[in-house]
């Protein structure tokens, strides 16, 4: 299936105020792949993501989603193919009730009401929040808002999911639920995040961005064991890959035996 491919070639974008956010990025993501985009604040992650569904149009270079290059004419198809999950769910949930919000996309696609209802209920069930269907979004908890915003995107049945900081502002339990949920999806996934432990769970491949350029692109395990690369990119090893302070303190000898990079 060629149409779930995301291909970015030599992409550059400079904001009107002169800040060059993206400077010549190229990568190719295949069908069903799950890729993390990591980097410091202001490294250009968000700007890159905004190109993937045509919120920004490339100033130089090109973006191809599946068989289509991203142009004005293909925008509609591309926005249906690429589901974008925003960092702040409040930006994404603008309708008066959860049901209407999830139905917003499918209705705009022009689907008949029965089909819309079916899709809404199915996507609410998929993320486990059927019981919230008549609630107003502003009364939901952070985790519930996140789940509903994912359902709203799923209802458009996209092939590719693009997420900006999906675990931001979630409590540990909600974060765990989110990771399990995302792990169950078979979509092509592109996740921009600072949560490197989440990357370890979800993404076999990682792209590291610094100052608008790709520093590294490869298997997550390799990248997270490259201390110099992480240091240069303002990142820290995932907590799970760091030495346990308890073991390395009181049980230092044991820790030495087991090697410093063990998991708990």
Partner 1 sequence: MANIESAFVDLGLLDALAARDSIVHRLDPRVKVMTAALFVLCVVSFDKYVIAAMLPFALFLSLVLGLAGIPARFVLKRLVLVAPFAVLLGLFNPFFDRQILLHLGPVAVSGGWLSFLSILLRFGLTVGAMLTLIAVTGFNGVCMAMEKMGMPKIFAVQLLLLYRYIFVLADEGQRMHRARALRSFDGRGTGITTYGHLIGGLLLRTLDRAQRIHLAMLCRGFDGTIRTSRPPRLVARDVLLFALACLLLIAMRRYDCSLLLGQFLTELVP
Enumerate binding residues for partner 1 (CB under 8 A).
50, 53, 55, 76, 79-80, 83-84, 86, 88, 90-92, 94-96, 99-100, 103-105, 107-109, 113, 116-117, 120, 134, 136-139, 152-153, 156
* Residue number with CB closer to partner 1 (65 or 214): 65
Residue 55: CB minimum distance to partner 1, A = 5
Distances (CA, A) of 228 to 116, 196, 198, 204, 225: 50, 16, 21, 20, 9
What gap in Å lies between CA 76 and CA 134, rounded to an integer?
Answer: 29
* Residue number with CB closer to partner 1 (91 or 263): 91
- Cβ contact 207:199 at 8 Å: no
* Residue number with CB closer to partner 1 (117 or 201): 117
* Residue number with CB closer to partner 1 (109 or 244): 109
26's CB contacts (< 8 A; 6+ apart) are 8, 9, 10, 11, 61, 214
Residue 74: CB minimum distance to partner 1, A = 14
3-state secondary structure at position 207: strand
Residue 198 φ then ψ, to 5°: -65, -40
* Residue number with CB closer to partner 1 (53 or 233): 53
What gap in Å lies between CA 158 and CA 80, rounded to an integer?
Answer: 6
Residue 199: CB minimum distance to partner 1, A = 24
What gap in Å lies between CA 182 and CA 201, rounded to an integer?
Answer: 10
* Residue number with CB closer to partner 1 (72 or 228): 72
Residue 8: CB minimum distance to partner 1, A = 18
Residue 172: CB minimum distance to partner 1, A = 24
* Residue number with CB closer to partner 1 (116 or 196): 116
Strand partners, 216: 208
What gap in Å lies between CA 196 and CA 239, rounded to an integer?
Answer: 8
Residue 200: CB minimum distance to partner 1, A = 28
What is the edge-to-edge ordering of all strands in the sheet holding 68-69? 20-29, 6-14, 60-65, 68-69
Residue 68: CB minimum distance to partner 1, A = 16
What gap in Å lies between CA 154 and CA 239, rounded to an integer?
Answer: 31
């Amino acid at each position: 299936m060629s149409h779930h491919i995301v291909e970015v070639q030599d992409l550059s974008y400079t904001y009107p105020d002169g800040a060059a956010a993206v400077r010549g990025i190229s990568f190719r993501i295949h069908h069903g792949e799950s890729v993390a985009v990591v980097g410091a604040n202001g490294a250009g992650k968000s700007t890159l993501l905004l190109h993937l569904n045509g919120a920004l149009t490339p100033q130089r270079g090109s973006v191809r989603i599946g068989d289509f290059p991203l142009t004005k004419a293909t925008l509609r198809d591309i926005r249906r193919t690429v589901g974008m999950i925003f960092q702040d769910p409040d930006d994404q949930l603008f309708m008066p009730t959860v049901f209407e919000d999830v139905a917003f996309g499918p209705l705009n696609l022009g689907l008949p009401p029965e089909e819309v209802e079916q899709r809404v209920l199915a996507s609410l069930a998929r993320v486990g929040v059927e019981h919230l269907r008549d609630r107003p979004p502003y009364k939901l908890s952070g985790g519930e808002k996140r789940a509903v915003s994912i359902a709203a995107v799923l209802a458009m049945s996209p092939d590719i999911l693009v997420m900006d900081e999906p675990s931001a502002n979630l409590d540990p339990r909600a974060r765990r639920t989110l990771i399990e949920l995302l792990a169950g999806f078979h979509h092509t996934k592109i996740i921009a995040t600072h949560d490197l432990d989440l990357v370890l769970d979800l993404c076999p491949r990682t792209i590291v961005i610094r100052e608008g350029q790709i520093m590294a692109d490869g298997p997550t395990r390799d990248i997270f064991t490259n201390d110099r690369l992480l240091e240069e990119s303002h990142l820290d090893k995932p907590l799970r890959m760091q030495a346990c302070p308890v073991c390395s303190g009181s049980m230092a000898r044991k820790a030495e035996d087991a090697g410093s990079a063990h998991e708990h």
